[in-house]
């Protein structure tokens, strides 16, 4: 299940930034576990970029989750499609 995969990446120690790719092709990088939370229903994520921009993401629209590599990390934590 996708929610479990995200929770495993979120809880990993040491934490490694990871990328969430949406169905529209946009991507968000979780740079710190403190900048993300999952609702109790595990249907929605709230993500805050390092600049303080807030995003609500529906898990039903997430197509891929993967550990982000250093060369993929953008300053904003968000990549447009």
Residue 52 belongs to domain with CATH number: 2.30.30.100
Would you say residue 25 lies in a domain? yes
- Which domain range does residue 44 map to? 2-68
Q: What does the pLDDT read at residue 7?
A: 93
What is the reported pLDDT for 75?
47
- The H or E element containing residue 56 is strand 54-58
Question: What counts of helices (H) and strands (E) characterise the chain?
Answer: 1, 7
Q: Summarize pLDDT for 8-63 with one digit per residue, the tens.
A: 999 999 999 999 999 999 999 999 999 999 999 999 999 998 889 999 999 999 99
Residue 75 included in any domain: no
Please indicate, yes or no, if residue 52 is contained in any of the structural domains: yes
Asked if residue 51 lies in contact with residue 59, where contact means CB atoms within 8 angstroms, the answer is: no
β-strand 27-30 against 36-38: which pairing, if any?
unpaired
- Per-residue pLDDT, 71: 56
Tell me which residue of 55, 45, 49 sits closest to 76, measured CA to CA.
Answer: 49
Q: What's the structural domain count of the chain?
A: 1
Q: How confident is the model at residue 81 (pLDDT cuts 50, 70, 90)?
A: low
Residue with tokens 């229903």: 41
Q: Determine, yes or no, domain membership for 81.
A: no
Residue 19, domain member (yes or no): yes
């Amino acid at each position: 299940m996708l929610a479990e995969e995200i929770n495993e990446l979120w809880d990993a120690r040491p934490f490694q930034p990871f990328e969430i790719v949406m169905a529209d092709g946009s991507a968000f990088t979780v740079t710190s576990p403190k900048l993300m939370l999952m609702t109790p229903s595990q249907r929605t994520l709230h993500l805050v970029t390092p600049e303080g921009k807030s995003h609500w993401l529906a898990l039903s629209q997430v197509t891929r989750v993967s550990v982000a590599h250093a060369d993929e990390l953008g300053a904003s934590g968000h990549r447009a499609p």
